[in-house]
């Protein structure tokens, strides 16, 4: 089965093609074709990068619309040095990462007119992502006609959160209005949970996990019986941990205080909380953990403060997830920071030494990928897992197609 995966963000689009023959293999496959489109560098232009085993391509094209760029990107699949298929009909299914599935979409679905309407409707809850996801779906319809398309929702993995974890203690009308914790990064948490169980040699249903997705956006999930029972992101991806540019949870009274000051509009607050806070806001340097570490090594005190706050919040939310689980078999680190920053892992783990959690410093320091970095006598395993969201989307498509055959 050949599966095209489209993972659209507000300013970039990652895409790849996998070919799964037979059952889903234990190890993630390498894509046959990978493309990345970036719209951010120069207005009116898009940069396209395509990689295959046979060849690579890099080009900058004028782009008035996402659709034009998608058309060119799809063209590189069937033509030129990056060709991997001769015609679009060789693709069996297209899988889309859709950020928000609301309360109705608790698992992946075949995209119909109703599903498209729901994705459009939920754009009010995910304004930077759901419209981009929908444009991707429409572009495939326009250029490739009737190839089956599947939506894989980032919220779905968290859709069985117990009410006590999902419902905010505001007025009851919020519940009726759908104002609740949805959680995000679900595709990554789901992949890491299954991968962790495999690395541990245990059944997913029998392990209690905390998965720490620490990238530009950061979230934790408490996973029991293979399901998310608590998570740090909430109604929006702004809740919970301190992130690259996002504040994470702050006292809501601060917002009331700021809004009472006449020069603070809703748009300004949105910008401050989503773009000018977190590592960047506190350090004044960057949202990138590499640059924060560099600045700390040069004695920059604001970078040190940003690091300290990040670690404090990470530890305290791990503690919260621990309480929701009532115990822990493995702590899992993933995404850009989680996979590449030994000091963050060490600082997070240090706080849980009282549980008998012991990190193997050697293993932690040496670029671990998909391994256990706890000591043999540690009471809790600690894993570093390279997240593979696109592969998980491909697997979801495979499972759904197989089920409906």
Strand order of the β-sheet with 209-214 is 227-231, 218-224, 209-214, 330-334, 381-384, 371-372
In three-state secondary structure terms, 341 is coil
Q: How far apart are CA 267 and CA 133, in angstroms?
A: 23
Report how far residue 362's alpha carbon sits from residue 355's, in angstroms, rounded to the nearest whole number: 21
Start-to-end CA distance of the chain, whole Å, equals: 13
# of chain residues touching ligand ADP (CB under 6 A): 13
Which residue stretches of 163-300 are H helix? 163-166, 172-176, 186-200, 252-259, 266-275, 278-283, 289-297
Q: What separation in angstroms does the CA of 259 have from each of 158, 242, 270, 351?
A: 32, 22, 11, 37
DSSP 325: H
Edge-to-edge strand list for the sheet holding 33-38: 56-62, 45-52, 33-38, 12-19, 2-8, 93-98, 149-153, 109-110
Our finding on whether 395 is near ligand ADP (CB under 6 A) is no
If binding is defined by CB under 6 A, does position 217 make contact with ligand ADP? yes
Task: Check binding of 290 to ligand ADP (CB under 6 A).
Answer: yes
Q: Which residue of 92, 104, 135, 288 would you call a contact of ligand ADP, by CB under 6 A?
A: 288
Site string for ligand ADP, 341-360 (x = CB under 6 A): x-------------------
User: CB of 352: closest distance to ligand ADP in angstroms?
Assistant: 22
Output the smallest distance, CB 202 to ligand ADP, in A. Answer: 26
78 Cα distance to chain centroid? 29
Cβ proximity of 230 and 165 under 8 Å = yes
Q: With respect to ligand ADP, which residue has the nearer C-beta, 305 or 323?
A: 305
Find the part of the chain contacting ligand ADP (CB under 6 A) among 108-116, 141-149, 212-220, 369-377: 212-220
Residue 300 touching ligand ADP (CB under 6 A): no
In degrees, rounded to 5, the angle at the alpha carbon of residue 198 between the alpha carbons of residues 194 and 204 is: 50
Helix axes 301-325, 289-297, angle to 10 degrees: 130
Positions annotated as catalytic residues are: 154
Contact with ligand ADP (CB under 6 A) among 82, 287, 324, 378? 287
Q: Which stretch in 67-75, 213-221, 351-359, 373-381 sits in contact with ligand ADP by CB under 6 A?
A: 213-221
Name the one residue in this structure whose structure tokens are 């970095």. 373
The binding track of 239-258 with respect to ligand ADP, each residue x by CB under 6 A or -, is -----x--------------
Exactly one of 289, 311, 318, 373 binds ligand ADP (CB under 6 A); that residue is 289
Pick from 335, 348, 384, 395: which binds ligand ADP (CB under 6 A)?
Answer: 335
Instruction: Decide: is 274 part of the binding site for ligand ADP (CB under 6 A).
Output: no
Q: Which of residues 126-155 bind ligand ADP (CB under 6 A)?
A: none
- Binding span for ligand ADP by CB under 6 A among 28-36, 52-60, 288-296, 321-329: 288-296
d(CA 159, CA 173): 20
Q: Per rule CB under 6 A, is residue 337 in the interface with ligand ADP? A: yes
Site string for ligand ADP, 51-90 (x = CB under 6 A): ----------------------------------------
**Given the complex with ligand ADP, which of 288 and 360 has the nearer CB atom?**
288
Residue from 136, 336, 342, 368 in contact with ligand ADP (CB under 6 A): 336
DSSP string computed for 102-171: TTT--S-EE--HHHHHHHHHGGGT-TTTHHHHHHHHHHHHHHHTT--EEEEESSGGGTT--HHHHS-SS-
Q: Would you state the structure tokens that stand for residue 314, as one six-digit string? A: 């990470």
Task: Candidates 68, 83, 274, 340: give the one binding ligand ADP (CB under 6 A).
Answer: 340
Please, which residue, 82 or 219, has the CB nearer to ligand ADP?
219
Residue whose CB is less far from ligand ADP, 95 or 217: 217
Residues that bind ligand ADP (CB under 6 A): 215-217, 244, 287-290, 335-337, 340-341
């Amino acid at each position: 089965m050949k599966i095209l995966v489209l993972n659209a963000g507000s300013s970039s689009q990652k895409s790849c093609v996998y070919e799964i023959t037979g059952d889903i293999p234990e190890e993630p496959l390498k894509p046959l074709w990978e493309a990345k489109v970036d719209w951010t560098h120069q207005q009116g232009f898009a940069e396209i990068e395509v990689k295959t085993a046979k060849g690579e391509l890099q080009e900058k094209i004028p782009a008035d619309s996402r659709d034009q760029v998608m058309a060119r990107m799809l063209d590189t699949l069937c033509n030129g040095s990056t060709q991997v298929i001769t015609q679009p009909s060789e693709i069996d299914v297209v899988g889309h990462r859709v950020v928000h599935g609301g309360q109705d979409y608790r698992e992946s679905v075949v995209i119909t007119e109703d599903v498209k309407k729901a994705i459009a409707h939920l754009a009010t809850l995910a304004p930077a992502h759901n419209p981009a996801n929908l444009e991707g779906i429409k572009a495939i319809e326009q250029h490739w006609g009737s190839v089956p398309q599947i939506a894989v929702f980032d919220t779905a993995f968290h859709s069985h959160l117990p009410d006590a974890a999902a419902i905010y203690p505001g007025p009851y009308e919020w519940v009726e209005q759908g104002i609740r914790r949805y959680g995000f990064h679900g595709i990554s948490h789901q992949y890491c949970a299954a991968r962790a169980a495999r690395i541990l040699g245990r059944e997913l249903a029998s392990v209690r996990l905390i998965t720490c997705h620490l990238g530009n956006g950061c979230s934790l999930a408490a996973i029991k019986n293979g399901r998310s029972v608590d998570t740090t992101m909430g109604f929006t991806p702004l809740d919970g941990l301190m992130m690259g540019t996002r504040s994470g949870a702050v006292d809501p009274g601060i917002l009331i205080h700021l809004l009472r000051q006449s020069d603070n509009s809703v748009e300004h607050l949105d910008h401050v909380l989503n773009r000018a806070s977190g590592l960047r806001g506190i350090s004044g340097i960057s949202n990138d953990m590499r640059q924060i570490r560099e600045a700390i090594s040069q004695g920059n005190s604001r970078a040190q403060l940003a690091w300290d706050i990040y670690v404090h919040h990470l530890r305290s939310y791990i503690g919260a997830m621990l309480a929701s689980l009532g115990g822990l078999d493995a702590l899992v680190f993933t995404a850009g920071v989680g996979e590449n920053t030994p000091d963050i892992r060490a600082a997070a783990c240090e706080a849980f030494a009282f549980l008998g959690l012991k990190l193997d410093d050697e293993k932690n320091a040496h670029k671990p990928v998909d391994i256990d970095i706890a000591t043999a006598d540690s009471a809790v395993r600690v894993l570093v897992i390279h997240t593979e969201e696109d592969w998980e989307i491909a697997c979801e498509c495979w499972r759904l197609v197989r089920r409906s055959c």
